[in-house]
């Protein structure tokens, strides 16, 4: 898996959009960008993934730069329940994924 770099922590206000950055400058052509989150004491939860194009689902949007060296996960209207550790991973679903330290996101009222 390509190495990813994320900020250690970030705060955001409830109701506002949360933009979580991730750098993956060594990503290879067939590797996807995955985002997961882990709420305290639970297993990680899959959020979204993409290869080249921007993706959106009911949880979030994923914006991948044209050179694929970085991406941003957008939580459009953050709630207190979105407080979690968010992991950005570059890899393949058919192979092992390496989870780093992630970004601890705290949503404040």
- Give dist(CA 86, CA 103) in Å, integer: 5
Assigned token pair, 89: 């991973």
The binding track of 69-98 with respect to other proteins, each residue x by CB under 8 A or -, is: ------------------------xx-xxx
Chosen residue from 20, 102, 103, 107 binding other proteins by CB under 8 A? 102
Using rule CB under 8 A, residue 29 touches other proteins: no
Q: Give yes or no for a contact between 59 and 35, defined as CB atoms under 8 angstroms apart.
A: no
- Give dist(CA 109, CA 89) in Å, integer: 29
Binding site for other proteins (CB under 8 A): 34, 36, 41-47, 49, 93-94, 96-102
């Amino acid at each position: 898996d390509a190495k990813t770099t994320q900020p250690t922590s970030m705060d955001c206000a409830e109701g506002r959009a949360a933009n979580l950055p991730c750098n993956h400058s060594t990503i290879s052509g067939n590797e996807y960008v995955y985002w997961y989150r882990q709420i305290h004491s639970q297993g990680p939860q899959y959020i979204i993934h993409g290869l080249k194009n921007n993706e959106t689902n009911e949880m979030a949007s994923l914006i991948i730069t044209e050179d694929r060296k970085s991406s941003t996960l957008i939580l459009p209207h953050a709630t207190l329940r979105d407080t979690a550790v968010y992991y950005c991973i570059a890899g393949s679903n058919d192979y092992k994924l390496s989870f780093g330290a992630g970004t601890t996101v705290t949503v404040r009222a």
